[in-house]
Amino acid sequence: MTIMTRMPVPRAGHGPNRHDSGLGGQAEYLPATKEEDLVTRIDSVRAATDSAKDSAQHAAEVVAPYADMAKEQAAHYAHEARVRLAPKVTKAAQQARVQYASHLAPRIEQART
């Protein structure tokens, strides 16, 4: 039985024994050393981090124009709502003051005495 490691070996060339298939699937793979696993994990984490960072940056660049437009529209709608509702709110507040003065204030004064 031939023993093969996970790391490339200098003697692996372009010959028939380059791949496991040349050995009929009978090659024995040794587990990676702790140093090899550590490097592999670090590289894998770095690659995943870079990929996630690039994806997030791309998404932000794609969404930015829409976010600016949404912000402008929200400000426009808020102003329009203020213009339309301000007279109604002012009128309702005035009516509430009148109702309070005519109905509740005398009863509150009566309750205090």
Domain boundaries, the chain: 1-31, 32-112
Asked if residues 16 and 22 have their Cβ atoms less than 8 Å apart, the reply is: yes
pLDDT tens digits, 21-57:
555 656 566 666 776 666 678 888 888 999 999 999 9
Q: Determine if the pTM surpasses 0.85.
A: no
Confidence band for 10, pLDDT divided at 50, 70 and 90: very low
Looking at residue 105, its pLDDT comes to 86
